Amino acid sequence: MLIENLYTLDSYTHEGNKIIAIITINAIHKIFAGHFPGQPVLPGVCQLQIVKEMLERGVGKPLLLSEAGVCKFLRMIDPEKTNLLTVTIDYNASAADIGCNAVISSGEVVYLKMNGNFKVLSLS
């Protein structure tokens, strides 16, 4: 999990099938030394992992991203300029699958839009 290391969870609201999380990116995390020196950027794979972790928290089950039908990285997230982000997820769940639409934004600026499907993992 990336929480409490790459980012901290400042607030989390889960009502019905909607999740709204406010997170703060750790701008001095070691990942930014390599991605990229002098121009830090939050990797796209980390953004997808944040969505997954927030969705897992909401449904209370471990998940695996099985399909990303639409995944648009609209702007780069520079943690030195923007470290406070809102993660908004609308989802629908069945016993084995969860479909979601997720957005990562800061104010009016949208960084990620995705819709995807997650498989519920069995812990047996």
pLDDT digits (tens, 9 = 90+) for 5-44: 999 999 999 999 999 999 999 999 999 988 888 899 999 9
The reply to whether 30 falls in a domain is yes
> Torsions phi, psi of 94, nearest 5?
-120, -175
Using the predicted structure, report yes or no on whether residue 73 has a pLDDT greater than 90: yes
The reply to whether 2 falls in a domain is no
**Count of structural domains, the chain:** 1
CATH number at residue 93: 3.10.129.10
For residues 63-78, average pLDDT:
96
Range of the domain at 50: 7-120
Q: What is the average pLDDT score of the chain?
A: 94
The reply to whether 82 falls in a domain is yes
> Which helix or strand (DSSP H or E) is residue 58 part of?
helix 44-59
The reply to whether 92 falls in a domain is yes
The reply to whether 57 falls in a domain is yes
The reply to whether 101 falls in a domain is yes
End-to-end CA distance of the chain: 20
The reply to whether 1 falls in a domain is no
